[in-house]
Amino acid sequence: MASTAKNRESRKVPQRIGKYEIVREVGEGSTGTVYLSHDPYYGRDVAIKLYYDDFGGDEEKARAARKMFLSEAHMVGMLQHPQLMPIYDAGEENGQCYVVTEYVHGARTLAAFCKQDDLLPVDQIVEIIFKCAKALHYAHSRGVIHRDIKPSNIMYTQDGDVRIIDFGIALVSDSEISRLEGIAGSPSYMSPEQAQGQPLTNRSDIYSLGAVMYELLTGTRPFKAGNLAKLMHQIIYATPPPIHTLRPEVPEDLEHVVATALQKDPEKRFRSGQDLAAALTRVHQKLRSRTPHMDQSEQLAMLRRLKFFHEFSPNEIAEVLKASTWQNCSADEEIVREGDMDDRFYIVVAGNCVVERNGVVLGRLGTGDCFGESSYVPGARRAATVRATTSVTLLKVGATLLEQASANCQLRFNRVFLRALIERLQKAEDTAEVQTLNARRMAAAAHPPLARVGARARSAPNATQPTGTSSRR
298-341 pLDDT, tens per residue?
Answer: 888 888 888 889 889 989 998 888 888 888 888 889 998 887 77
One domain for residues 3 and 138: no
46 plus 128 within the same structural domain: no
What is the CB-side half-sphere exposure of residue 304 using CA atoms within 13 A?
A: 12
Classify 290 as helix, strand or coil. strand
**Same domain, residue pair 315 and 401:** yes
3-state class (DSSP) for residue 261: helix
Q: Does the structure show a pLDDT above 60 at 464?
A: no
pLDDT tens string 43-71 = 999 999 888 776 555 666 666 666 777 76
Answer yes or no: do 85 and 114 share one domain.
Answer: no
Q: Quick one: 267 and 315 in the same domain?
A: no
- Asked which of 52, 72, 103 is the last residue of a domain, the reply is 103
Q: What is the pLDDT of residues 75-86, one digit of tens each?
A: 656 788 889 988
Burial (CB count within 10 angstroms: exposed 0-12, middle 13-18, buried 19+), residue 269 = buried
Residues annotated as part of the active site: 148
Helix 314-322 and helix 407-446: axis angle, to 10°?
90
Q: What are 92-146's pLDDT values in tens digits?
A: 888 788 889 899 888 999 999 999 889 999 989 999 999 999 999 999 998 889 8
CATH of the domain at 400: 2.60.120.10
- Residue 125 · residue 254 · CB < 8 Å: no
136 is a domain residue: yes
| CATH number of the domain within which 25 lies | 3.30.200.20
472: in domain? no
Positive or negative, the CA dihedral 461, 464, 469, 472 is: negative
What's the CA gap between 239 and 397, in Å, rounded? 35
Q: What is the DSSP string of 294-331?
A: --HHHHHHHHHTSGGGTT--HHHHHHHHHTEEEEEE-T
Residue 221 lies in a domain: yes
162 and 279, same domain (yes or no): yes
Side-chain-side CA neighbours of 249 within 13 Å: the count stands at 7
With CA atoms as reference, report the closest residue to 52 among 98, 89, 88. 98
215 in the same domain as 250: yes
Q: Kindly report whether the global pTM for this prediction surpasses the value 0.75.
A: no
Closest to 25 (Cα-Cα) out of 10, 17, 15, 13: 13
Structure confidence at residue 181 as a pLDDT band (50, 70, 90): very low
Q: Verify that 95 and 136 share a domain, yes or no.
A: no
Q: What is the pLDDT of residue 470?
A: 43
In this model, does residue 13 exceed pLDDT 80?
no
Q: Are residues 338 and 244 in the same domain?
A: no
- Residue 347's pLDDT is 92
Provide the domain count of the chain: 3
Asked whether residue 174 falls in the same domain as residue 241, the answer is: yes
Domain residues for 298? 291-423
